[in-house]
Amino acid sequence: MEKKNENSISMFKTVKAVCETNIAVINANVGLNNTYNQYLLLLSNLELLAQEQTLNRTGITIDKKNAREALALLVEGASGIIKAHFDSVSNYDVFVSVNLSFTKLRIMRDQLFIAHTQTVINLLTTHQAVLAPFGVDAAYITNISNALTQYINIVAKPTEARNNKSTATLLLKTKIKEIATFLKNELDNAMLVVKITNTSFYVTFRNARRIIDNGIRHEETVTGTITGVVKDETNNQVIPDALVEIVGTPTIVLTDNLGEFTIISIPPETYTIRVSIGNYDIKLIDNIIVTANENTQVEIKLTPSA
């Protein structure tokens, strides 16, 4: 997935996490609640497209390679039978027509390989009677024909996979644009109803909306990094989708599926980190020292809410 799309999706998820942390405030206003639910519906559709776009299709290529080698072995064996017979009767035209090595069969272009295999099958069928002493019977020919059919079916799959991925990528970009427009024109405006009554929530929401990548915007060139993991203190299980904020800055990141987070490009200074997620008490970690060109590692354990 393109980095730009990843950053957009990360921002969308962070916005959701901020809203879920303040869901009581959202639920208290019917208009805001309705707008937020529309956002959740758009986001669920986006996640399905993202899954399709990032599907691992390596297995398709492996299946094709294995099928090619299996069929090439069958064709090599059949060609050997044909060459042996037609050399014995001095018919060198037929001999030459099937005289391809296993190595050549493995690297031929798909359509040429398919055409050559069909030529071998046609010769086996036409001359089955004289080739019978070599074990060429109906079952032998059918076995090769079935292997060819299987290979033809597999040949189309990588192209189909590429086309499917291209389609999913285009749809994903369209959906990202649709959600970005919805945020700008609808949810951002709806959030103004809490700007005065719940200033802290509104500011956190606006900070989440600014995120493009996991770094604090600044002009300094010498910076540090914070990495960490968020866990449940009662069972030591990692906590995904927790909000990690650097207090006093607009930076907010979300923990990944392993409960891990990374914040880059941080000016050297001492910071306080605030971590929050539903069903856990908010945790403040003071005196996080960031040093130039170094990575500060932290492990944060949250207490389940009473």
CA angle, corner 10, sides to 255 and 5, nearest 5? 145
Q: What's the confidence (pLDDT) of residue 159?
A: 62
Q: What's the confidence (pLDDT) of residue 53?
A: 60
- On the question of pLDDT at 170 being above 90, the answer is no
Query: If you average pLDDT over residues 101-105, what whole number do you get?
Result: 90
On whether the pTM is more than 0.85, the answer is no
Q: What's the confidence (pLDDT) of residue 164?
A: 67
Please tell me which residue, 164 or 74, carries the higher pLDDT value. 74
Q: What's the confidence (pLDDT) of residue 45?
A: 86
Query: If you average pLDDT over residues 170-179, what whole number do you get?
Result: 88
Q: Are 50 and 2 in contact (CB under 8 A)?
A: no
pLDDT in tens, 11-63: 898 899 889 989 999 999 999 999 999 999 999 888 777 776 655 444 445 57
pLDDT in tens, 226-279: 999 999 999 999 999 899 999 988 888 999 889 999 998 889 999 999 999 988
Q: What's the confidence (pLDDT) of residue 256?
A: 87
What percentage of the chain has pLDDT greater than the value 90?
57
Q: From edge to edge, which strands make up the β-sheet containing 224-232?
A: 260-266, 224-232, 295-302
171 band by pLDDT with thresholds 50, 70 and 90: confident
- Reading the block at residue 22, the tokens are 């303040």
Q: What's the confidence (pLDDT) of residue 223?
A: 87
Query: If you average pLDDT over residues 90-106, what whole number do you get?
Result: 90
Q: What's the confidence (pLDDT) of residue 158?
A: 61
Q: What is the largest CA-CA distance in the chain?
A: 99
Q: What is the mean pLDDT of the chain?
A: 87
Q: What's the confidence (pLDDT) of residue 215?
A: 47
Q: What's the confidence (pLDDT) of residue 142?
A: 95
Domains and CATH numbers, the chain: 1-212 (no CATH), 214-302 (2.60.40.1120)
- Rounded distance between C-alpha atoms, residue 121 and residue 138, angstroms: 11
Point out which residues pair with 224 in neighbouring strands.
266
What percentage of the chain has pLDDT greater than the value 70?
89
